[in-house]
A and B are shown apart, each in its own frame.
Chain A
Amino acid sequence: MDILSFIFNPFVSAYNLVHDTLTSLLQSLGVPPDWIAIIVFLVMGLIVVTVILIVAPVLMMYITLMERKVVARMQDRIGPNRVGKFGLLQPIADMIKFLTKEDIVPQGVDGVSHFLAPIVAVIPVVMSFAVIYFGVGMGAVDLNLGLLFLMAMGSMATIAVFMAGFGSHNKFALIGGMRAAAQIISYEIPQIFAVLIPVMLAGSISLNRVIEQQSGLFGLGWFILYIPVGPIAFFVYLLAATAEINRVPFDLPEAESELVAGYHTEYSGMKFGLFYLAEFLNMFIVSAIGASIFFGGWQGPFVQQIPALGILYFFGKTFLLILIQLWFRGSIPRLRVDQLMNFGWKRLVPVMLGTIMFTAVLLWFYRWFLESLKGLGG
Chain B
Amino acid sequence: MDATTVIAQAVFIIVATLTLIAAFLTVLVRNVFHAALALVGTFFGVAAIYLMLEAEFLAIVQVLVYIGAIAVLILFAVMLTRGLMQRDTISFNRQWAWAALVISTLFLGLFILILQVPWLQTPGTAIYTDLTPWLGTQLLTTYLLPFEIVSALLLAALVGAFIIARE
Taking Cβ atoms with an 8 Å cutoff, the residues of A that contact B are 32, 34-35, 38, 110, 112-113, 143-145, 148-149, 151-153, 155-156, 158-159, 162-163, 166, 178, 181, 185, 188, 205
Contact B64 A152 (CB under 8 A): yes
Closest CB in chain B relative to A217 CB, distance in Å: 27
Secondary structure dominating the interface of A: helix
The 8 closest A-B pairs by CB, nearest first: A155-B68, A152-B63, A152-B64, A144-B130, A34-B3, A162-B75, A148-B60, A158-B72
Taking Cβ atoms with an 8 Å cutoff, the residues of B that contact A are 2-4, 7, 31, 33-34, 37, 40, 56-57, 60, 63-64, 67-69, 71-72, 75-76, 79, 130-132
Closest CB in chain A relative to B72 CB, distance in Å: 5
Residue among B31, B33, B60, B132 making CB contact with A152, cutoff 8 Å: B60
Asked whether A166 and B33 contact (CB < 8 A) given A149-B60, A151-B64, A156-B63, the answer is yes
Name the residue in B31, B37, B68, B76 with the highest tally of chain A Cβ atoms < 10 Å from its Cβ: B68
**A163 surroundings in chain B (CB, below 8 A):** 37
Closest CB in chain A relative to B43 CB, distance in Å: 10
Closest CB in chain B relative to A149 CB, distance in Å: 6
Asked whether A159 and B71 contact (CB < 8 A) given A38-B3, A152-B64, A178-B79, the answer is yes
15 A-B residue pairs with Cβ-Cβ distance under 8 Å, sorted by A, are A34-B3, A35-B3, A38-B3, A38-B4, A113-B34, A113-B37, A145-B57, A148-B57, A148-B60, A149-B60, A152-B60, A153-B63, A159-B67, A162-B79, A181-B75
Residue among A144, A145, A155 making CB contact with B69, cutoff 8 Å: A155
Name the residue in B56, B64, B71 with the highest tally of chain A Cβ atoms < 10 Å from its Cβ: B64
Contact A205 B72 (CB under 8 A): no
**A188 surroundings in chain B (CB, below 8 A):** 68
**Bound Cα distance A188, B132 (Å):** 22
**A181 surroundings in chain B (CB, below 8 A):** 72, 75-76
**A155 surroundings in chain B (CB, below 8 A):** 63-64, 67-69
Contact A152 B79 (CB under 8 A): no
Closest CB in chain B relative to A6 CB, distance in Å: 33
**B67 surroundings in chain A (CB, below 8 A):** 152, 155-156, 159
**A178 surroundings in chain B (CB, below 8 A):** 76, 79
Name the residue in A34, A144, A153, A178 with the highest tally of chain B Cβ atoms < 10 Å from its Cβ: A144
Known: A145-B57, A162-B79, A181-B72. 8 other contacts (CB 8 A): A144-B130, A144-B131, A149-B60, A152-B68, A155-B63, A155-B67, A159-B67, A185-B69
